[in-house]
Amino acid sequence: MLDGLVALALAAGTEILAIYGSAIEASDKADGSPVTAADVRAEAVIAEGLARLAPDIPVVAEEATAAGRVPATHGKFFLVDPLDGTREFLSRNGEFTVNIALVEAGRPVLGVVYAPALGEIFIGAEGEGARAGTLDDRGDIAWTDITVREPDAAGLDVLASRSHLTAETKDFIDRFKVRDLVSAGSSLKFCRLAAGDADLYPRLGRTMEWDTAAGDAVLRAAGGRTLTLDGAALLYGKRNQASDSDFANPWFVAAGLFDPLRVGAAATV
């Protein structure tokens, strides 16, 4: 399964890069977020591949959902964001990703995050750990095991959304002793935590499940955690929510080897 998902992510990345090097036109979806031909083409490649790889597992994909095509999601299903960080794609800063995750019983148990412009790929599986890979010119991947790190007494390295940094997120970050605050796009923030390159990623703002599931799977497989503000693990497959739309996430905090919500944590790290 994991090898198959990696192959699909790479194929979707090829479609994206074919458009990345040319003039890019974007339109706005109903929620105001941008969509490009790269989103559509990458999602088509992934959907077709998943239908071959695991025909009995439903697929919830961002663009299909926006068009009203949403399957039942009892038990096990895929979550797909074919181009996470469309704003980063449009600004051509390279920080956009292909996200494919498998969810079981509300948990992201398998995830692939591929950054085609950077030649970086991250994978994680529940109970099996996480790895980071770099692609060479031939498309071969050199893999390295990754794990989260202990925070440094000098302060935390904190990641924040490049395009969606809210006032509430800033206030949360101010609770901590921060050594470095780095803005980054897409699900790469989860992967930087998983690889031990940072300590904390708070997101006190709106996200959707396809934005987070693959990166969250990699982070959890690397020993990290993603918590809602009440201290519970972030869950997936949220439908019929009274306060928001299907698959919308609450605010969350992702971290490595410390509890970012523990009373006094800000004073001790």
Span 22-48, pLDDT tens digits = 767 777 666 667 788 999 999 999 999
Is the alpha carbon torsion for 182, 186, 188, 191 positive or negative?
Answer: positive
| Residue whose C-alpha is closest to residue 124's, from 142, 147, 104 | 147
| Residue whose C-alpha is closest to residue 70's, from 80, 82, 58, 81 | 58
Question: According to DSSP H, which parts of the chain are helical?
Answer: 2-20, 37-53, 62-66, 86-91, 167-173, 188-194, 209-221, 265-268
What kind of fold does domain 156-268 have according to CATH?
Answer: D-Maltodextrin-Binding Protein; domain 2 (3.40.190)
pLDDT of 124 higher than 90: yes
| Location of each CATH 3.30.540.10 domain in the chain | 2-146
Question: Binding site annotation covers 84?
Answer: yes
Question: Binding site annotation covers 211?
Answer: yes
Q: What CATH architecture does domain 2-146 belong to?
A: 2-Layer Sandwich (3.30)
Question: Binding site annotation covers 4?
Answer: no
- For residues 115, 106, 53 and 81, what is the CA-based torsion angle, rounded to 10 degrees? -30
Question: Binding site annotation covers 136?
Answer: no
Q: How many CA atoms lie within 13 A of 159 on its CB side?
A: 21
| Location of each CATH 3.40.190.80 domain in the chain | 156-268
Of 24-38, 118-132, 138-152, the least confident: 24-38
Q: What would the mean pLDDT of 182-198 be, rounded to a whole number?
A: 94
| Residue whose C-alpha is closest to residue 128's, from 142, 101, 146, 115 | 146
Q: What would the mean pLDDT of 218-227 be, rounded to a whole number?
A: 98
Residues in the chain: 269
Mean of all residue pLDDT scores within the chain: 92
- Angstrom distance (rounded) from CA 127 to CA 261: 25
- Angstrom distance (rounded) from CA 133 to CA 140: 9
Scanning the structure block, which residue is given the tokens 């395009």?
Answer: 163
Question: Binding site annotation covers 81?
Answer: yes
- Angstrom distance (rounded) from CA 110 to CA 2: 7
> Which pTM does this prediction carry?
0.94
